[in-house]
A and B are shown apart, each in its own frame.
Chain A
Amino acid sequence: MISHYLQRNGISTTTISLIREHTEYTRQPRALWVPFPLGRPFGVADDPDFQRDVLHSALRLLETATEPTIEDYPHDAPDGGGDGVWSCSIQLPEPEVSDLEAALRSEVDLLTPWYEEARRRRGRTTVGISGAKPEEIDKVVSFIVAIAEGSGFKEIPASAQGPNWNHTFPMLVRFVVEDLRAFYQEAVTSQEGTKPPSQHDMHSWIFEKTALGQAIIQIGHQIAADDEQRLKMIRGLIIPEGFWKGGVSWGETPSGEERLSFIIRSRAYLAGEDA
């Protein structure tokens, strides 16, 4: 829709399309549909030639298209999407269910040198969206353990005071989980010379092999036990569909209500404006 609004205000646009059905619906002026996984509009990391070709192909539509156009990019991503060929070569201990905090801290300790190495080599980290600094990852762990063990969805756990948390409940839970997940992902993708994992590989590893996955699932159970129907959406934002065994991760839409209207009705609650 933004392309329509920009054009109505005098700016030419061209767009990458990931969901062709959405682009067919919105009929944007110029769109290059690309056959890449969601989250990867320019194809693949660390392949400048490929990224540049995708970008240039989308930009060329500014010269070649004379009416609303969806062009199909002819090449798959060089890794083919990458599913199912990756295994983590960092040996983590078998997660110890009886002591979630000890298990999580042990994993974080093992992953820290890999995380630091990746951060130095790339010159960046994406950890920090919750407001915790990357060096406050121990407080991120404390937060997740407390929520997983039932401290509720309204107040910062006493054990996690310190960081300048910059979201409100309940969405804060989603971003704290994302920060620890990013820490894990950046650490295990630091290994050079191995085929990088896809997001599905990553989810499978986290939920099947790590204490982090167990902690997230435990948060999912705390959400399931809560009476607030709108809170279920937070589970859908931390556990991808297919990895929550208790039904639809996102939660059921109340009967008689359209999914979209339920989301719109829940927006203020999720943003922390309607406790």
Chain B
Amino acid sequence: MTNVELQQRIDSEYRWGFVTDIEQEPFPKGLDETVIQRISATKGEPAFMLDWRLRAYRHWLTRREPGWATVHHPPIDYQSIYYYAAPKSGGGSNRPKSLAEVDPQLLATYEKLGIPLREREALAGVAVDAVFDSVSVATTFKAKLETLGIVFCSFSEAVREHPDLVRQYLGSVVPYTDNFFASLNSAVFSDGSFVYVPKGVKCPMELSTYFRINASNSGQFERTLIIADEGASVSYLEGCTAPRRDENQLHAAVVELIALKDARIKYSTVQNWYPGDAEGRGGIYNFVTKRGECRGDNAHITWTQVETGSAITWKYPSCILRGDNSVGEFYSVALTNHHQQADTGTKMIHIGRDTHSTIVAKGISAGHASNAYRGLVKVLAGADNARNHTRCDSLLMSPDCAAHTFPYIEVKNPSAQVEHEASTSKIGEDQLFYLRSRGLGEEDAVNLIVNGFCKEVFKELPMEFAVEARKLLAVSLEGAVG
């Protein structure tokens, strides 16, 4: 690739609005209304956005950080955070100059996952300009999607190009008053993804943040909005299996899904943010609000997640089943090792008649980690014939880890049927022994058992994700047994 081509590639970022203002002075630390006004102005947002951000901010000031999750961390100083990511070329930060400066353990992990060299640099946050290969991939896909009328772009671009859609749907599932972190996100969100699939259109390919060049830098306060209009369907993949280094410790994303009549949204996540080192130093705090609404009859939302990263995960992808006959599903594998803490689960709110929901949650806890499932199944009085089945299993792999299950079941309709089962047990000594006696090494045996334990969830993942997820689990569990 010549220098000229290179320059064109970089320019194309501007055209798509992936990076906004490279000449911008770094924002000061801390948060006040001026900072929010500057964020909004920098992004060239219409007045309604700024107004919404400011209302969110004022509400946030009245809220206190929630303390009910079974996670422990030192208090977060919200005034010592940069609320707008400094552009890359402003690079006064402490990002590594080359792969030689990156934590060798991280590099070893990339090696095992078979990640191409260029991507390794991007993932590790090395100050290269871009991952060029995926730019071309993104543009090719984009053209194809446009012919179908599908909008798939960054959030900032959507605000500029499709303000009516954003205005109509933003905050309609997760209002800015929803919770402490959602309020904060609403006030300061930097960027994220926007998807709109028009009536009757089946999106022909899996949409993925991975193809969006700026995804590696929009992380801290990400905002995603996906709308499937009547009869539409879309499958969206978030994240990737490679561990990603990030300078921002606090991540508070919001994801909103809206499925209208007969629409179907499948949202799959593989989350592997930097979990901190084996001693529990560093690592990302991942406090995410994800919620989908089946707004029309026969709508269908599926959340599938594989969570292996982050020092602390606080995440409850939920479904509001408003339309009659709508379906919500949640499949989750959460693995915590070393000193990681996860408090994750789902909420299924049955409002419409004949609504069905399924929850399958698998927690694996190793090292000194703590892993909690927290879920709510709520059946309102009008939800005749609602059905829910919940299955939560926890696998314990060390004497110092912890596994918790906190399900809430609230039923106000006598024709509803709600079932919840949970179990917690140690990885089976006899199973391990059997596999070892057949000549498998200890780690292979553990992997086989863990894969079997997670099978129900993996089969819900898109194929390429499923293959990677299996590999990822193996890598994350290295040294957990023995």
Q: Are both chains from one complex?
A: no
Residues on B facing A (Cβ under 8 Å) = none
